[in-house]
Amino acid sequence: MAGRKKHTQKKSASGRTGCLRIGCLTLVVVLAVGISVFLTRPSTYKQRLLQYITERYPHIREIGKPLSPQGTVYVTLCFGDENSDYLIKENRQIEAPATPAGKATALIQELIAGPRAKGTATMPQGVKLRGIKIEDDMLVVDFSQELVTRHPGGSTSEMMTVFSLVNTITMNIPEIKKVKFLVEGKPIETIAGHIDCSEPIQPQFGLVH
């Protein structure tokens, strides 16, 4: 009788183990199918799914942020004209996240890369974007020291640098009305001695031809 009971317990434990394995395998299959479907569905579906997940499970909201879907956006960049006397527009198609911060980062990187058509670069060679932050209607942009140390100087050139960025950002992101410049995480008074950068700067669209 004791042997039969022990055998029954062993069989029950074996059954539970089998069920557990089947359950784990099912979960893996479901996740694999879900990921496959997610990767092959249009970006609008992914956006809705990400929104549902972050709203349904607030504790993983931070995980969802890096997954902000990228999409193709059409933007207008401002570069210097051939003589660097005024700014000219260059329309471009880029890949950028849907958030204002993600789009601002992509726009600044495109400005640093320089023009693809006619026009001249407005950012000093070697400058890097260290980070950005949005505060209400203001974008705070932190550049590496090359923004100052490698700037060619001159009032016109400095004006091109400042307003190519400010105009580009505000033209493409309506939520942002002004831009604050930082270098190596600290406020600056000026880039090359001609334009006051100690306060947030508003766009000057009259400089764009």
Q: What is the pLDDT of residues 96-142, one digit of tens each?
A: 998 999 999 999 999 999 999 889 999 999 999 999 999 999 999 99
Neighbours of 77 (CB within 10 A): 27
Which of 29, 49, 66 marks a domain boundary? 66
Same domain, residue pair 54 and 81: no
**Residue 148 pLDDT exceeds 50:** yes
Query: In the prediction, which pLDDT does 85 show?
Result: 87
Using 50, 70 and 90 to split pLDDT, how confident is the model at 180? very high
Which of 40, 66, 92 marks a domain boundary? 66
**Residue 67 pLDDT exceeds 50:** no
Q: Tell me if 143 sits within 8 A of 109, measured CB to CB.
A: no
pLDDT, one tens digit per residue, over 13-29 is 555 555 556 655 555 45
Which has more confidence, 42 or 108?
A: 108
Q: Tell me if 128 sits within 8 A of 146, measured CB to CB.
A: yes
Same domain, residue pair 52 and 74: no
Q: Tell me if 189 sits within 8 A of 146, measured CB to CB.
A: no
Same domain, residue pair 47 and 110: no
Same domain, residue pair 57 and 76: no
Which of 66, 92, 117 marks a domain boundary? 66
Which has more confidence, 9 or 209?
A: 209
Same domain, residue pair 169 and 116: yes
Average pLDDT score over residue span 44-51: 60
Same domain, residue pair 59 and 100: no
Using 50, 70 and 90 to split pLDDT, how confident is the model at 83? confident
- Residue 1: strand, helix, or coil: coil
**What is the secondary structure of 77-115 as a DSSP string?**
EEEE-TTSSSEEEEEEEEEEESSHHHHHHHHHHHHHH--
For 193, left (φ over 0), alpha (ψ -120 to 50), or beta?
left
The mean of the pLDDT values for the chain is 81
Enumerate the H helices of the chain as residue ranges.
Answer: 2-40, 43-56, 61-64, 100-113, 146-149, 155-172
> Which range has the top average pLDDT, 34-38, 62-66, 74-78?
74-78
Query: In the prediction, which pLDDT does 45 show?
Result: 58
- Global pTM reads 0.68
Q: Which domain holds residue 153?
A: 70-207
Same domain, residue pair 139 and 198: yes
Same domain, residue pair 59 and 82: no
State how many domains the chain has.
2
**Residue 92 pLDDT exceeds 80:** yes
